[in-house]
Amino acid sequence: MITAVNDTATHERTIEVGTELPAVECPSAVAPRDARELSKRFFDRLQDLDEGTHEYQYARNTLIEMNMSMVRYVARRYRNRGDDMEDIIQVGTIGLIKAIDRFDLAREVEFSTFAVPYILGEIKRFFRDTGWAVHVPRRLQELRSDLAKAKEQLHVELDRDPTVRELAAHLALSEEEVIEGLVAANGYNAGSLDMPTDSDSSAQSRTLADVMGEDDPAMETVENLSTLAPLLHQLDDRERQLVELRFGQEMTQSQIGAELGVSQMHVSRLLTRTLTKLRKGMLTDH
C-alpha cells in the first residue's frame, strides 16, 4: 500500500529512494486501479534517473511488483494447457520487464495496453520453444489449442467439463476429429517414470514405473493356444488321440504304445509327423 511520509521510518525510506517517489511498502498488494495511477508517477521519474542508481532500481522493481497482476491475468488464460502456472508466470514476467524498460509516457497510451502484448509474446514463445514432447502435425497442434479454449468456454457455460459431442458441435467438427485432437494433446507433455502417482510426497509414494504393466509371458501361451486350436481340428482322429495322450494326459511313449497296441518307435514316428504338421500350420498362420 502507499504510505504517508509523516512517520520517521517512512520518512527515512522516502529520503533514501528520493523525495519525488512515494515509499510503497508492499507493491504487490497495491490494487490494479491504484497501480495504474501510481505507475505513471514512477514512469515519469524513471525516465530521468540513471541506470544503476539505487533510486532507479527502486522505481523499476516497484513497477514490476505493482503490475504483476497483469501477468497473472494473462497467465490464467493458459491454465488448462497442463503446464506449471509458476513457469508461465515467470515467463510472463520477462515480458512485463521488457515492457517496463521500453515504455514511454509520451506514447499517451495506458501501460497495460502496451505491456499485455509483450507478456503474451513471451508466453507464446515459451510454448513454441518448449512445448510438444512428441512431434505432431501442425494441424493437430492448432486443434489442441482450439480444444483448450473451447473446453474452458464450455466449462463456464455448462458448469462442468464438456463432452466430445459438445466440443464437436461448438467447433463445427466431427467427433472423430475432436477425439484425434484430444489424443494428440497427450503428446504435449512427457511424464517421467519417476513421477509420483499421487500427491503424497513421502518416501512410500509409488511412481509411474511402479504401477506400469509389463509383458506377461503367459500371453504368448494364450496366443499359441488360440492359433493351435483350429489346427487340432484338422487332424484325423488318431493324430488327435496321440496329442491328447501325450500332452493332455502326459503319458510316456511306452504307455501310449501299450494303450494303442503299437511299438514305442512307431509312437515316436507318429508324434513327430503330427507335431511337424502342427508347427508348419502355426508358422503359416503367423
> Residue 175 pLDDT > 80, yes or no?
yes
Q: Are 144 and 185 in contact (CB under 8 A)?
A: yes
**pLDDT tens digits for 8-55?**
333 334 334 444 777 887 888 888 788 888 888 898 888 888 888 899
What CA–CA distance (Å, rounded) separates 61 from 59?
Answer: 6
The answer to whether residue 279 is domain-embedded is yes
Measured CA distances, 84 to 132, 189, 197, 260 (Å): 14, 11, 17, 75
Q: First CA to last CA across the chain, in angstroms?
A: 77
CATH code of the domain in which 59 resides = 1.20.120.1810
The answer to whether residue 217 is domain-embedded is no
pLDDT band at 4, cuts 50/70/90?
Answer: very low
**pLDDT tens digits for 135-166?**
556 676 678 778 888 888 888 888 888 898 99
3-state secondary structure of 49: coil
The answer to whether residue 211 is domain-embedded is no
Domain shared by 171 and 249, yes or no = no
Domain shared by 104 and 144, yes or no = no
3-state secondary structure of 221: helix
**pLDDT tens digits for 242-266?**
888 888 888 999 998 888 888 989 9
What CA–CA distance (Å, rounded) separates 195 from 214?
Answer: 18
Domain shared by 84 and 147, yes or no = no
Instruction: Retrieve residue 5's grid coordinates.
Output: 511520509
The answer to whether residue 209 is domain-embedded is no
Final residue belonging to a domain, choices 189, 206, 234: 189
2 DSSP assignment? B
Provide the domain count of the chain.
3
Give the pTM: 0.43
Domain shared by 14 and 113, yes or no = yes
Domain shared by 42 and 146, yes or no = no
Domain shared by 13 and 30, yes or no = yes
The answer to whether residue 89 is domain-embedded is yes
CATH code of the domain in which 230 resides = 1.10.10.10
The answer to whether residue 153 is domain-embedded is yes
Domain shared by 17 and 114, yes or no = yes
Q: Which amino acid is residue 140, in one-letter code?
A: L
Domain that holds residue 144: 133-189
**pLDDT tens digits for 109-128?**
888 888 999 998 888 888 76
Please list, residue by residue across 73-100, b when 16 or more beta carbons sit within 10 angstroms of its beta carbon and e when fewer do. Answer: ebbeebeebebeeeebbebbbbbbbebb
